[in-house]
Amino acid sequence: MNSSEPTAMREITYREAAREALHEALTNDERVFLMGEDVGRYGGSYAVSLGFLEEFGPERIRDTPLSESAFVGAGIGAAIGGMRPIVEVMTVNFSLLAADQIINTAATYLHMSGGQINVPLVIRMATGGGLQLAAQHSHSLENLYAHIPGLKVLTPATVEDVRGMLATALADPDPVLIFEHILLYNRKGLLAEQAGAVDIDRARVRREGTHVSLITYGGSLWKCMEAAELLAQQGIEAEVLDLRILRPLDDESIIATVSKTHRAVIVDEGWRSGGISAEITARIHEQAFYELDLPVQRVCAVEVPIPYAKHLEDAALPQVEEIVAAAKKVVNGHD
C-alpha cells in the first residue's frame, strides 16, 4: 500500500475489537489459552469469547469454578511453566478474591527469584459503574493495582487500544492487568483494517486544547470528550489526555499537557481518597508546580458504595456537567 493512500477504516464495537484481539492471540500462538468464569459455554460474561469454545476446544477455552484465587493461581503456574495464559475475572470487585495471588505472587515472583522467574500472565477484567449492577460489581479498583510494583495496569478506552494492547501485553515477560470499562463494550469506534499491536507505555492526547487539561482514562475518557465539546461552545478549548496506562504512569505526557495549558482537571471514576487522581496531582505539584495558574481540580466518584438505583448511581459517578463545572472553575478562577 502506498503510504500516501488513506488508511481503510471500519466501524466496530469495543466488544468486537476485544474479541478480535483474543481470537488473533489464540490463533497465532498455541501457548495462549483463555481461562475464567463463563468464558466457554456461556461465551463470556460480556460475550467477548462467544463461539471460542467451539472453535478452539476445551483445552484452550477453560471454564473454571467460581474461585478466583484458584484459577488466577493456576494461571500464574501456567505462565511460569511456559504458557501464555489470559485469565478473565468477571468484575474487578471479584479480583479481590485473588488479590493474594496477584499482589503477593504474580507481582513479586521476579524479585523473589532474583530475576530468574518471570510471570508472563495477562488478566482481563471488567471495571466501572453505570449498568446498575450494584456495589459488588460496579467499582473502579484499578487504582489499587496501580499501587503495586511488579504489575502493569492498562485501561483501554478506545477500540484501537482494546484491539492492540492485548498482543503487546502477551509479549511482556511480566504480569499485565487489563481493565475494560463495562460501559464501553457496546460503544462503536473506527478501527484501521490493518490494526495491530499498540504500545503500552505512553499516554495519548485525544483532543488538542490550550485553556485547560482534562486528564483521565477508561470509561471517563468519553465523558471528558463530551465535556470538551460543551466547553468549546463557551470559548474554552480543553485538551484531553487519555492516560491509557496507570502503572507506569507517563509523567512526561502529564507534565507536557499541564505545561501547555497551565490548568488541570483530573477525572477518575475511582474514589478521591488515596486514588490515582491524588497520585497524579502530587506528581504535577512535584514536577510542574510553577506551571500551574490555579490548583488542580478533581472529579471523582462520591465516596460511597456504588448504589443500585439509577438516579443514585448517576449521582455517585462523575458526570459531564461536573467536568464542565470543574474546568470552568480553573479557567475562570471561580465557580
Catalytic center residues: 68, 137
Instruction: Name the residue with cell 530475576.
Output: 115
Q: Distance (Å, rounded) from C-alpha 245 to C-alpha 154?
A: 5
Closest by CA position to 202, among listed 249, 143, 166, 146: 249
**Quick one: residue 244, left, alpha or beta (phi over 0 = left, psi -120 to 50 = alpha)?**
left
Q: How many CA atoms lie within 13 A of 196 on its CB side?
A: 2
Q: Quick check: 304 and 320 in contact, CB under 8 A?
A: no
Cα 249 → chain centroid: 12
Alpha helices in 89-219 (DSSP H): 99, 109-112, 142-145, 159-171
Q: Quick check: 106 and 175 in contact, CB under 8 A?
A: yes
Amino acid at 314: D
Q: Find all residues with CB under 8 Å of 294, minimum gap 6, and list them.
A: 263, 330, 333
Q: Quick check: 263 and 229 in contact, CB under 8 A?
A: no
Omega cis (within 30) before 295: no
Q: How many CB atoms lie within 10 A of CB 238?
A: 27
Q: Distance (Å, rounded) from C-alpha 291 to C-alpha 263?
A: 8
Q: Distance (Å, rounded) from C-alpha 101 to C-alpha 309?
A: 33
Tell me 232's DSSP state. H
